[in-house]
Structures are given as C-alpha cells and as structure tokens.
Amino acid sequence: MKFASRTARIEPFYVMECAKAAAELARSPACRNEPMIYLNIGEPDFTAPPLVREAAERCLRDGRTQYTDALGLLPLRERISAWYAQRFGVDVPARRIVLTAGASGALQLACLALVEPGDEILMPDPSYPCNRHFVSAAEGRAVMLPSGPEQRFQLSATAVAQAWTERTRGVLLASPSNPTGTSIAPDEMKRIVEQVRARGGATIVDEIYLGLSYDEAFGVSALTQGDDIVTINSFSKYFNMTGWRLGWMVVPESMVAVVEKLAQNLYICPSTVAQHAALACFERESLAEYERRRAEFRARRDFLVPALNRLGLTVPVMPDGAFYAWADCSTFAPDSWDYAFDLMRRAHLAITPGRDFGQADTKRYLRLSYATALPQLEEAVTRLRRCL
C-alpha cells in the first residue's frame, strides 16, 4: 500500500514509546517488589470532580447525546467567556470561542485555517512535539529556534525578528510550556506579538496549562495583547478531564466562520456529553476544588525541583506553571534517551527523555512530570538518590 508522503514527516511520539516500554517492564517479575513509578506522562492524577461527573450522568439519563452546533454549546462558551473575565481580567466574547475535540483538534483547525503549503511557522526548541507535527500535517514547516535557559526555553522577540523570512507565516508558542513548565513574560509576549503583527503574520499561543500558573508575574493570557491572537486551551489539564477530549480556541471574529466550516467537515462537533459535563466545571464548588488541586501541584513542584537540584539533576529554570521539571542529566550521562531506559531498569522509574522535544541540546535533558502524588515523588527521589 502506498502512503501519503506527509506521513513521512511525522516522527514517532517517543513519549508513548517510552510509556509502552515502562508498562511492559512493570508487568515483569522485576517489578514485583518495587512497582514502577510513572513520572513520564503529562496527565493529572486527579480526575473530574463530583459535579462534573454528575452532570455527565444527567446528560446520559436525559438522552442529551445528539450533535451540537459545530462551534459548541453556547452556554458553555458563555461560561468560558466569564471565566476569562474573572480569572484573567480579559474580555473574550463568547462568539469568538470555538469548542473543539480537545486542544489537539483546536491546533489542527488553527493550522489548517492559517498555514499554506510551504509556509514556515517559528517555534521554540524545545517544545511539545505534536505542535510541529500539526504544522507538517497542514503542509507547512516548523522552524525550530534554539531557546536555552537564558531565554526561559522560550522564543524572544529578537529571535523572531532575526529568523523571519518571506516564507514565514507566524509563530506557534506555548506558555506555560511542555516540556519545561516555563512561561513567556507578558512584556516579552507583547514584543513578540508586535514583531509578528508588523509583518502581517499570525500568533498562535497554546495556553492549555495557563490555569496551572503558580506565579502571578507569568499567569497572563496572550489575549491581553489584542483581538488578533489565536489561543488554544483545554479541559484536560487544569480541569482534569483528559479522556473527555474537549478543548477550545479563541479566534479573531473574522476567523470564526472559517474555523466553523472546517470543524463542520472534519469533526461535526465536540463530544456532546463532555460539553454538558464541562458546564459544571465553572460552578463555585468545582472551581474551589480546582484551586485546591493547583495548590497541590505547586507543593509537588516545590518539593521535586529542589530535590532534583540537590541530586545534580539540575533544573536550570524554575517552572512557573504546568507540572513538568526539565532536568539536565549531562553530569551522569551523555544522552538522556539511554539514561531514561537505564533508570527505568535500575530504579523502576518511568521518565521521559528529551528526544521528543527538539534538537537543540535536548539530549541532555529529562522531563519529569509531577502530576502524581507527593508520596510517589518522595519515593522517586529516594530511588534516584540510590542510583546516583
């Protein structure tokens, strides 16, 4: 069978390859007395809170499972709009909010709407691998710009200006970032947007971890920079609804009809049950629970990052959001890929090597997720200390 050439431009998702290896080892006799600890997958150990689950049950009982509008339920878009005003102090009309089949669906829609074949999109190196593959699937090319710790592993306005060519269509950023947990400072975001806007380009910002910001200096939406910004968000991370596959995007008004047309043809609509359940995310009781969980994530970060630094697995930039630590393992091994598998075998720790996230020095880094309970993190540090 002959496959489309675009498939050759999509690399394997190495995070999942490591996860498969860890799961196989976990089932073996070697892990009988010391079970595998998983610090590799970016999925909260929390699940949807009670009101959300109850809303899903009511939806099923009442038979409200038919298609919704391609843009999503208007009441849910209105609640998201109110959340932006309450949480981030930004006015985002519901008519500019499009509900999607997860943040992945939103990124696909954004790339298909904005990227022509041959267009180039500037991205930081390191960054989440699927983001560059969404660009490739739209027949564009992701241009990865080395972004080290001195830049908080993020693009700068200077780097954008220097890298821009006649083929550049725009930038795709993530703030906070996977794999580093670092954000772009609001003043730097302003400068980036100005550089892109001056060249007639598009600014797309992945904000799926914005709800999990721990520093007020960085917990600011890029939407404060103008109505021409496209942002991506999700119910997976802050709202703990990973398997529900529900996200959203905020787009300029002129882009709504374009995205709606694409969504109608590609997905029809997001999950109806997930949308009805997500309405309960914005109840006072649910929001209080999410804030309690955000504080728990922060406590985990405040334990894990100093512990890694003491062990010599240095985290060059303190993560200000998400639930990842980007740790330098070069003192112990030349390549984090082999080292991650070594730790998997010796310490029964599943940790993600840097290979997925780019080419700029990523082989010296490991990504550790602290989306797991504190006792598990404490045991993980004990095992690391033993190995190191």
Q: What gap in Å lies between CA 305 and CA 301, rounded to an integer?
A: 6
| Whether residues 200 and 221 fall in one domain | yes
Query: The domain spanning residue 34 has which CATH number?
Result: 3.90.1150.10
pLDDT at 9 (0 to 100): 84
**Which tokens belong to 349?**
């720790």
From 233, 254, 282, the end of a domain falls on 282
Q: So what's the pLDDT on residue 291?
A: 98
Residue 8's region, left for phi above 0, alpha for psi from -120 to 50, else beta, is alpha
The whole-model pTM stands at 0.96
- For residue 99, give the nearest of 71, 123, 135 by alpha carbon: 71
Please check whether residues 276 and 294 belong to one and the same domain.
no
**335 shares a domain with 192:** no
The residue among 267, 282, 297 that closes a domain is: 282
Let me know whether 92 and 215 are in one domain: yes
β-sheet bridge partners, residue 231: 205, 250
Whether 207 and 88 map to the same domain: the answer is yes
Q: How far apart (Å, rounded) are the C-alpha atoms in residues 168 and 199?
A: 9
Q: What is the mean pLDDT of each run of 10 residues along the chain (388 residues)?
A: 88 83 91 93 94 98 97 98 97 98 97 98 97 95 97 98 98 98 98 98 98 96 97 98 97 98 97 98 98 98 98 98 98 95 95 94 97 97 95
Closest among 210, 203, 195 to 173, alpha carbons compared:
203
Domain range enclosing 37: 5-47+286-387
Residues 124 and 171 both lie in one domain: yes
Residues 122 and 171 sit within 8 Å (Cβ to Cβ): yes
Who contacts 27 (Cβ-Cβ below 8 Å, separation ≥6)? none
Domain boundary among 282, 304, 335: 282
Do 204 and 180 fall into the same domain? yes
Residue 139 sits in a domain whose CATH number is 3.40.640.10
The pLDDT value given to residue 43: 92
Buried/exposed 256-287: b ≥16 CB within 10 Å, e otherwise: eeebbebbeeeeebbbbbbbbbbbbbbeeebb
Give the per-residue pLDDT at 37. Answer: 96
Please tell me the total count of domains within the chain: 2
Cis peptide before 126 (omega within 30 of 0): yes
240 and 320 together in one domain: no
